[in-house]
Structure 1
Amino acid sequence: MNFDPVLLADRMASMKAAGLWRDETIDVHFRRALENCPEKLAVVGYRDGQPEPVRLSYRELDRRVDLIARGLVALGVGRSDVVTFQLPNRWEFVALALACARIGAAANPVMPIFRQHELSYMLNFAESKVFVVPTVFRKFDHAAMARELQPSLPHLKQVVVVDGDGDDRFDRLLLREDTPPLLSGPGLAPDDVSLLMYTSGTTGEPKGVMHTSNTLFSNLHAYISTMELSPADIILGASPMAHLTGYGYLAMLPVLLNATTVLQEIWDAPRALQIVRDEGVTFSMASAAFVSDLCAAVEAGSPVSPQFAKFNCAGAPIPPVVIQRAWDIMGLTVCSAWGMTECGAVTVTEPARALEKSGVSDGRSLPGIEVRIVGPDGAELSAGETGELLIRGSSLFAGYLKRPRLNGVTTDGWFDTGDMAYQDGEGYIRINGRSKDIVIRGGENIPVVEIENLLYRHPSITTVAVVGYPDRRLGERVCAFVSLKPGCTFSFEDMTAYLDKQQVAKQYYPERIEIVEDLPRTPAGKLQKFKLREAARSFTVEQ
């Protein structure tokens, strides 16, 4: 595969001179762990239906990574080839990523929810040579789907099935003790594309984001420092590993730290709290929905662990009530963050300021990253003014695979995130919607995030999203999509009465409410407002 990472050249010299790009691959950090703490637990993997987790020390994980690397080479995988794996949060996921780096291949994790339509495009576009899947996961036969897809994919040489019983099973192809040793030669270089990850779908158009060791790890090092993490931390990996949150911060970051990651295959809050207590988990990262679930489980009687101290939420603004609730009932510090697949975590609220800032901001930029908020004319805006959020710096991706025209980076290195935001006097930003989320009704900009946050506080509501829908006279009107707590009701009249009490300008009231069971999200918890906008296009203006 010719990746053509066009966004690297202009940054290389300055980033390396500043010490932001350390020219270290994950294999360097892994071998460091083997020297420092070979018998320390690297991965603990909990699977549904299995009474005991898999426990792998760094030494045992290395043994399996070596076998998998040799197995991939035997299947014809080499430098710059793509290995796609559609796995839940299991030890095999972590080992495959490490094995790819060892032989210079690019890891391409894809979400377990994807089916033939998405996968046929992704595998063909990436020219994937090997596709690794579970046998059955969540009652879906992934092995049958992969075998069905293979004949239509000219680059795909081998399907590999974890827990399979055929000739394509994982242990036969990738864990054979008699596979010949690796051929001597260069492994992954720090500026090679190490990760290919498709965007999560909040815009509806998948793009292949390319990261190198330098772009990704510059972000992880800055994040470790800001979040005050150390080798003593035990990290819960419950957010999907095939999203950048899971891959970067829950699979790779523990290796950088020489720490331990504890994997939960299927999210279940009561079980997660039991795992947290049993394993001494200290930190995790996921969307705000995970924290809400944990709070509800504690209130229903699940155990609290005093060691579980920090949780980083990204994906959407966190309702302030969730932050305070987690602190009050679990002693859990919830830090806000904002980021993208294209750049990892860009802004983070440090733990010392979390109770004060996480409910009103999405943090401030990590070392090595600059943020800028500009108006329609490109001029930088003052504190408190909402505009387009631009970023540049060390963790910006290497470009979109085969689509350099979509990279969206200016000649001086600024990337248009597509998000709207404002900044306070201390440099903390607040995401104020996507540029496509802006609702302009009769020439008046509607403060979408402000209305959502107010509705979040209503005791009957669990989640809410405000979008516009077409109107011939005003251009747009406003609809609130709302999901409710069990046994609760909430009508249009309830909404207007509630907003009256909050003394909100009547011009900002939604003109329509839609009660839904749940809001559409990516597997990592990001709200898919484009789906709500599509649904709202059919609405009439009558209320």
Structure 2
Amino acid sequence: MPITGKILEVAQAHPERLAIVGAEARITYGELAEDGRRVRAVVEHLRDAHPPVSVRLRSRELPGRAESPSGLQLVDETPAAEPSERSGVDHVDARAQPVVAVSSTDAFHTARIIAGLAGFGCVSATIDPRWPLEHQVRVVLGTGISVLVSDSDALRDALARAGWAGAQVSLDEFRRLERKLPPAGAPSVRAGDEPFLMLFSSGTTSNPKAFLKTRAQYRANFAVSSAYLEPLPGVATLAPGPLSYSLTLYALVECLASGGSCHVADTFDALAASRRIADEGVTRVVAVPAVIESLALVARRSPERFAGVELLVAGGANLSARIRSAVAGALPGARLVSYYGAAEIGFIGDSRGGDGTAITLYDGIEAQVRGPLGDVLPDGEIGELWIRADACSDGYLPATTDEQLRDTEGWATVHDQARLRGRQLELLGRAGDIVVTGGHKVSLPEVERAFELLPGADAVCAVSAPDASLGSVIALVLEGADAPDKATVLAYARERLAPQFVPRRVYRVGELPRTVGGKVRRAATAELVAGGEAVRL
């Protein structure tokens, strides 16, 4: 991981430079190296007070490949050999490399704990406290977590009932121990094959799946992001949102890996963020599309606060026309980049102009589109997108899923559907987002994009509904009490869509179901329609 080397370098050359900044706390590079020693001291103390179960996370064997470090199984046995005795990391020894998880809404302290542990033999994880309790328990029990920083009494009780032998402390207790205990030894740059982070998929279509990133994989990921997304030395970046989001976590990592300053926020408030942007000299913002849109609305009213903003980086492909229009009108001096990536794979490509649907693949990223039988499809045909990249993880932890990420040749998929034309990629959603109606293959996200500027609709979701004659038809579900009537919707659609893409049915709901990250859940929306809970217009 390049974080530790850069932290130590900047601590020597520019000790006063801000490293991590919260709404009410901040830490410089000069302080961060010493802070990491205190963080590590607490982890060692908790590990000694609560000896971990002797576990080994053993990899699955994939045909034609050496064992991989992150297709892991949890097995009770004696501690495995040290990583240096092996030709690759295929385990996490809970005694040598504790798995430390933080489940907190405090973005500043979560960020500094992760940064502090980067220079030691630890695997760090962030668990979203808004996940269902049973999933949090399953993750802690099944992935080798031995130290948990969490204020949740419900989680503590559930883990105790399940017989978990690890240590859970509140954030306040963790900080008290930092003040009390003597610091650990100095941090150091670690070997590339050592596991560094345990991450989780977005959970858009299922419960979040766990996987590991080695330090070498993260170095490869930073090489891509630093070449295209400009986390430059000394640049102040605002990255609001929970550190359990891979987007926010990646922003923290790339800032520290480049010697920049990362400004984090527990919750997002557009007005408060605009004041921080002005007061702290923020020139770069990395955020989800909804946050970018909110900032653009504030910038329209208070443009002077955004005078220094040069770059807006939005996570997620196919940035809506509404958001792109809002940014262009309110922040004409700022560039807008919408990148596509997956936490498991890393940064893949981005869109910088036009209608936002054409994604240019980054150098070094290989892509292909495959058909249902695994055959590689010609350019322009719709199929499942497969990526090969140095930053890609090796597989999911089976405690959280039995799904495989990579094939025997190192190609990986998160089941996005796409068209590929040379190095230009067009995303069309997940497998369930492509439906056949009347013999035509239709992309539901393409249908939704046509309604991005529909007056009166706060948000829309296209779903497939069963039909006696056509097999299935497209149904459009509108969010908002002031949504337009069906005639208006259909007239709007016919002006913008091919006939087979025009919805046959229109529904309205007060609020569309979403993930904790704010993404609309298509399957849950379809269930509302099927169950009669959506009002048909």
State the TM-score bracket (shorter-chain normalisation).
0.7 to 0.9
Aligned to 1:49: none
1:495 equivalent among 489, 501, 509: 489
Secondary structure at the counterpart of residue 406 of structure 1: coil
Q: Structure 1 residues 72 and 312, CA, compared in 2 at 3 Å: closer, same or farther?
A: same
Aligned to 1:72: 43
Q: Within the alignment, does 1:430 sit opposite 2:431 as a pair? A: no
CA drift of 1:107 comes to 0.8
Whichever residue aligns with residue 87 of structure 1, its letter is: S
Aligned to 2:387: 391
Aligned to 1:198: 200
Secondary structure at the counterpart of residue 490 of structure 1: coil
CA drift of 1:109 comes to 0.3
Distance in 2 of aligned mates of 1:289 and 1:437: 21
How do residues 201-216 of structure 1 correspond to structure 2 at under 5 angstroms? Answer: 201-216=203-218
2:342 equivalent among 333, 340, 343: 340
Alignment deviations for residues 26-78 of structure 1 (CA, whole Å, 9 cap, x no partner)? 322322222332211111101xxxxxx21211112222221011111111175
Secondary structure at the counterpart of residue 514 of structure 2: coil
Aligned to 1:38: 15
Distance in 1 of aligned mates of 2:159 and 2:536: 50
Distance in 2 of aligned mates of 1:517 and 1:483: 6
Q: Structure 1 residues 541 and 294, CA, compared in 2 at 3 Å: closer, same or farther?
A: closer
CA drift of 1:156 comes to 4.1
Report % sequence identity: 23
Q: Is the 8 A contact 1:240 1:246 kept in 2?
A: yes
Distance in 2 of aligned mates of 1:334 and 1:496: 32
Whichever residue aligns with residue 502 of structure 2, its letter is: Y
Q: Within the alignment, does 1:507 sit opposite 2:500 as a pair? A: yes
Q: Structure 1 residues 226 and 329, CA, compared in 2 at 3 Å: closer, same or farther?
A: same
Distance in 1 of aligned mates of 2:46 and 2:491: 65
Q: Within the alignment, does 1:412 sit opposite 2:409 as a pair? A: yes
Structure 1, unpaired ranges of 5+: 1-23, 47-52, 134-141, 164-168
Secondary structure at the counterpart of residue 75 of structure 1: helix
Secondary structure at the counterpart of residue 411 of structure 1: coil
Alignment deviations for residues 104-146 of structure 1 (CA, whole Å, 9 cap, x no partner)? 111110113124222111111123211112xxxxxxxx43224
How do residues 211-290 of structure 1 correspond to structure 2 at under 5 angstroms? Answer: 211-249=213-251, 251-290=252-291
Matched length: 488
Distance in 1 of aligned mates of 2:519 and 2:14: 36
1:61 equivalent among 2, 14, 32: 32
1:366 equivalent among 362, 366, 379: 362
How do residues 21-36 of structure 1 correspond to structure 2 at under 5 angstroms? Answer: 24-36=1-13
Distance in 2 of aligned mates of 1:541 and 1:321: 26
Distance in 2 of aligned mates of 1:444 and 1:467: 15
Whichever residue aligns with residue 410 of structure 1, its letter is: D
Secondary structure at the counterpart of residue 47 of structure 2: coil
Aligned to 1:102: 119
Q: Within the alignment, does 1:143 sit opposite 2:136 as a pair? A: no
CA drift of 1:171 comes to 2.0
Secondary structure at the counterpart of residue 121 of structure 1: helix
**Superposed structure 1 runs of 4+ greater than 6 Å apart:** 184-187, 540-543
Whichever residue aligns with residue 125 of structure 1, its letter is: G
Q: Within the alignment, does 1:450 sit opposite 2:446 as a pair? A: yes
Whichever residue aligns with residue 528 of structure 2, its letter is: A
Aligned to 2:353: 355
Secondary structure at the counterpart of residue 118 of structure 2: helix
Secondary structure at the counterpart of residue 266 of structure 1: coil
Q: Structure 1 residues 542 and 294, CA, compared in 2 at 3 Å: closer, same or farther?
A: closer
TM-score (norm 2): 0.84
CA drift of 1:346 comes to 1.2
Secondary structure at the counterpart of residue 67 of structure 1: helix
Could you tell which deviates more after superposition, 370-379 or 226-235? 370-379
Q: Within the alignment, does 1:315 sit opposite 2:325 as a pair? A: no
Q: Is the 8 A contact 1:420 1:435 kept in 2?
A: yes
Whichever residue aligns with residue 86 of structure 1, its letter is: S
Whichever residue aligns with residue 241 of structure 1, its letter is: L
Q: Within the alignment, does 1:296 sit opposite 2:305 as a pair? A: no
CA drift of 1:252 comes to 0.9
CA drift of 1:394 comes to 0.5
CA drift of 1:381 comes to 3.5
CA drift of 1:466 comes to 0.9
Alignment deviations for residues 499-541 of structure 1 (CA, whole Å, 9 cap, x no partner)? 2333x33332222223234433334343332322333343599
Distance in 2 of aligned mates of 1:200 and 1:447: 21
Q: Within the alignment, does 1:157 sit opposite 2:166 as a pair? A: yes
TM-score (norm 1): 0.83
1:524 equivalent among 505, 517, 529: 517
Structure 2, unpaired ranges of 5+: 49-94
Alignment deviations for residues 452-487 of structure 1 (CA, whole Å, 9 cap, x no partner)? 111112132332221112334433222212224xx8
Whichever residue aligns with residue 322 of structure 2, its letter is: V
Whichever residue aligns with residue 254 of structure 1, its letter is: C
Q: Is the 8 A contact 2:137 2:155 kept in 1?
A: no
Q: Within the alignment, does 1:118 sit opposite 2:135 as a pair? A: yes
Q: Within the alignment, does 1:91 sit opposite 2:108 as a pair? A: yes
Aligned to 1:460: 456
